[in-house]
Structure 1
Amino acid sequence: MIRIGAHMPTSYGFDKVPQLTVDSGGNTFQIFPHSPRMWKASLPSKKAADEFQVQMKKYEIPFEAAFCHCGYLINPASPKDDIWQKSVELLIIEGKICQSLGIPYLNIHPGSHTGAGEKEGIDRIVKAIDEFLKTVPDIVLLLENVSPKGGNIGYKMEQLAKIIELVAQPERIGVTYDTCHGFDAGYDITNKESVEKLFDEMESFLGLWRVKMIHLNDSKAPLGKPLDRHENIGKGFIGDRGFRNFLSFPQIQNIPWILETPNEEDLYTKEIAHVKSLIGLINVDR
């Protein structure tokens, strides 16, 4: 089953997300567990969490198709002890929010070493993840590939693989593949041969089974230029032809696709329909 959706707002309440998702033409979604630009976060009330779960069942969205994305301030690779500690503490709260809602996945950017070096950054990431995993049971952390800029770690598959290799509970680590970030890092998805090469690399370093979510984003920058500027599907350098090629591969057709493009006015309704048209789907079964 093809699952497609978008990053949805929670300003109306967690319980409104399932209906907003279905109304937009989606059957999967991603949300922030709290305001992403704040260090402060709190658990939803039991009433709010219970109502969210009721609405998930009402709109027939399985919890395996629901994702949380960590806040922007979190940097598990930070060499600064205060930032690292605050990042871990907030990550743990976010994990507990996921638990209360019943959402099994929390997506994180591995972070930036900010000049301290890749090895130091990976060591810090692993330490942060281990602290999270021993404190928050059940939740699966998804490491997202990132754009190769500003000391970022995780723009190469082998970097993600190294983190997974070193953590204490590797079975609780999955991966999110972001098409814009990958394009920044030189992973071309506009032709068959390049996609096959990407999948071979994923399988070799990670195992394709670890890929639990795909962020569908076109790129405002050409291949290999690390700007991290998302564009609407078909309007960037990947283009409709590139996405039609990428999405045609059966390896990713059972993985939820989530839009994070600069298009929130209609809650992605037109863009979800556009992606469906690229793969020849007018209606997608929920």
Structure 2
Amino acid sequence: MASCKRGEKRRKDRSASKMEETEDSTEKKGRTRQQKKYIGAHVSIAGGIWKAVEASVEMGGHSFGLFLGSQRSWQRPALDQTAAAKFQQACTQHGFNPTHILPHGSYLMNCGSPKEDVLSKSQAMLVDELSRCSVLGLTLFNFHPGASIDSSKEQCIERIAEAINHAHQQIPAVCTVLENMSGQGTTVGGQFSELKSIIDRVRDKTRVGVCLDTCHAFAAGYDISAAGGVKAVLDEFDQVVGLHYLRAVHLNDSKGKLGCHLDRHEDIGRGQIGISAFRNIVNDPRLDNIPLILETPGRPGFEYDDQIKLLYSLCED
């Protein structure tokens, strides 16, 4: 994922009238009731976690993703209660429903690791992340399943499921959302069947789901770029995993070609997937009412606000 600070200066330069427009009551109602597609982006928490809400509003988002702490350390300070209250207040003020906010797990975490120290720290971090969600009033938590390293995929899948079950026992209510992977290296989750194998081992099925990353799926060999490809891939997901487990989508074009197994995100319509697939995504009713979140590079001149606007322009209703 590219830095979520992109476009910060550009957003700061916007006029006060733009902010007033986004805070209009009809817009706030649209975030919770009138929308069908909840498109947004992964945003920064720099300056305070509540700033993520403000950043999403400024770029015209109706959903957003965020990290819940530093990505550089296993040990993080406890979430400040005042900051958590300001976050919840901002969500209420701007009409963001918790079901349209998708926190993203630390990349340090590998709940499938055969290394005892890494596994232990990953299990503890998963509990900590769910605890932070609970304090913030959030209901979803997305993370990369893990990598088998020098063990079998079956053993890796067992460890991931055990970590989820353990975290569920410690923290109530929050749903753990597995992200599909590109199939790079020894990562687990590149195939829908692997995600299903993890879900099968989770005791509370109401608290597990999937976030479908378009770049990862394409890189793993699921051709959403072909004519009818989006429908075909969603049909396959439904047959293998079940669409009732689909809780979110990461909207990313791919620098790499179909089946390349490279996790290389590209801006919408500027990669190998192409704009037609994203038009089909934002018009598929099976993806209504879930967060659709950009994690693209967001280069100058085509930043998150531009890409959100483009995606909404493709919606036919």
**TM-score scaled by length of structure 2:** 0.85
In the alignment, structure 2 segments of 5+ residues that lack a partner are 1-35
Equivalent residue for 2:185, pick from 150, 157, 179: 150
Task: Answer yes or no: is 1:172 the counterpart of 2:207.
Answer: yes
Distance in 2 (CA, whole Å) between partners of 1:11 and 1:196 is 38
User: Which one-letter code corresponds to 1:27 in the other structure?
Assistant: H
Segment of structure 1 superposing worse, 218-227 or 189-198: 189-198
1:95-110 alignment runs, 5 A limit: 95-110=130-145
SS at structure 2 position matched to 1:14:
coil
Change (3 A) 1:240 1:193: closer
Equivalent residue for 1:33, pick from 65, 68, 84: 68
2:24 aligns to what? none
Deviations along 1:110-136, whole A, 9 cap, x unmatched?
Answer: 110013111111111111111111111
Distance in 2 (CA, whole Å) between partners of 1:243 and 1:63 is 24
Distance in 2 (CA, whole Å) between partners of 1:123 and 1:211 is 21
1:178-217 alignment runs, 5 A limit: 178-217=213-252
Aligned residues: 281
SS at structure 2 position matched to 1:234:
coil
Task: Answer yes or no: is 1:141 the counterpart of 2:176.
Answer: yes
- Alpha-carbon distance, 1:31 to partner: 0.5
1:277 aligns to what? 313
Distance in 2 (CA, whole Å) between partners of 1:279 and 1:87 is 39
- Alpha-carbon distance, 1:192 to partner: 4.4
Q: Percent identity?
A: 37
Q: Which runs of 4+ in 1 moved over 4 A?
A: 264-267
Q: Is the 8 A contact 1:5 1:272 kept in 2?
A: yes
SS at structure 2 position matched to 1:177:
strand
Equivalent residue for 1:262, pick from 297, 303, 317: 297
Change (3 A) 1:41 1:181: same
Distance in 2 (CA, whole Å) between partners of 1:119 and 1:98 is 29
User: Which one-letter code corresponds to 1:205 in the other structure?
Assistant: V
RMSD over aligned CA atoms reads: 1.5
Task: Answer yes or no: is 1:78 the counterpart of 2:117.
Answer: no
1:21 aligns to what? 56
Distance in 2 (CA, whole Å) between partners of 1:4 and 1:245 is 14
In the alignment, structure 1 segments of 5+ residues that lack a partner are 282-286
1:46 aligns to what? 81
Q: Is the 8 A contact 1:106 1:141 kept in 2?
A: yes
Q: Is the 8 A contact 1:10 1:16 kept in 2?
A: yes
